[in-house]
Amino acid sequence: MIDDVQSTRLPNGLTVLTEHMPGLRSVTVGIWVRRGSRHESAELNGISHFIEHAVFKGTQRRTARDIAVETDRMGGHFDAYTTHEMIGFATKVADTSLAEAVDLLGDLVSHPRFDQEDLEREQKVILEEMKMVEDTPDELLGELFNAAYFPNQPLGRPIEGTKETVPTFDHKTTLAFHAREFSFSNLVIAAAGNVDHRRLLDLVGRAFDGCESGTAARPTLIDNPRPRPAAPILIEQKSELEQVHLVIATPWPDALSENRYAASLLASVIGGGTSSRLWQKIREERGLAYSVGAGGSSFSDVGVFNVYAGTSPEQLDEARSRARRCY
């Protein structure tokens, strides 16, 4: 129930949200940073994603092994990710382990060590991650599409950075970006499950006591001018593959638009599941593709709707034509 959601903005700028769900014996708690790849300069492209990785290499109080063992000891599921507009760290634990989870999250986000040797090893890991994307056609297509749809703009850059930028993220560069951008005003701490709001406020106060708040302000559209999509787009890549991977795109409501709920419903009708128009027309009736679907991506100031299909080269024209008739 929405009545069970409580929000508090602390004097230091931290925002704390809870949703009490008394029927559960677990809690999902996380910290979200209002910074992502679109808030980076071209020279620092990928540093938000790099920091998401690097904090797990150790803090002032915990080694990388300590972090891994403590997570397993709580029986929790830990997840971290970076998008164009945020970085997220979240874990699901039994309600009896909430205090330990908040302490671990706070330590990761506020006190990363950023040891130079650790950073150099993690650079290699991310370079391997890039190769993995290049070896996965549908993921590679997503990056090629973004670069072409938002040319020479932050939203068009790869979230993980490039082979040129990532090796430059040394201790000094990484520490400076973290100190500036991971300010309290950019942090949202949220928990849902069997959690009491007042208790979470107390735990957050302990976890972030004495931390430097940083100087960064929240991201604004002044920092990131409204993106300008480019069209039409035709991309040819990796001709040695057996399939053609196709994306058809159109503008879409942004995350703050009053039309976002109607848009979500429309996306489900067009390509959201096995009963959707795309699935039924492209896969079930014509057998043109194994993988086919659609979905919208809504950013703070712009949106894009993508139709995706993987098909044989000789079936491309028919698949594209039938996909366009579905919406």
Which residue is catalytic, options 52, 70, 122, 181?
A: 52
Q: Quick check: 304 and 252 in contact, CB under 8 A? A: yes
The 26-33 sheet, strands edge to edge? 5-9, 15-20, 187-193, 26-33, 87-94, 77-82
- The residue to which tokens 């029927």 are assigned: 23
Amino acid residing at 117: E
* 3-state percent helix, strand, coil for the chain, nearest multiple of 5: 45, 20, 35
Complete DSSP assignment for 137-204: HHHHHHHHHHHHHSTTSGGGS-TT--TTTGGG--HHHHHHHHHHHS-GGGEEEEEEES--HHHHHHHH
SS3 14: coil
The alpha carbon dihedral of 284, 268, 80, 50 has a sign of positive
Q: Where are the beta strands (DSSP E) in 38-98?
A: 77-82, 87-94
Q: Quick check: 71 and 56 in contact, CB under 8 A? A: no
Nearest to 96, CA basis, from 194, 13, 10, 175: 194
**52 tagged catalytic:** yes
Nearest to 245, CA basis, from 173, 313, 180: 313
For the chain, how far is it from start to end, CA to CA, in angstroms? 34
SS3 294: strand
The CA-atom distances, in angstroms, between 130 and each of 32, 89, 126, 138, 139 are: 24, 21, 6, 13, 10
* Residues involved in catalysis: 52
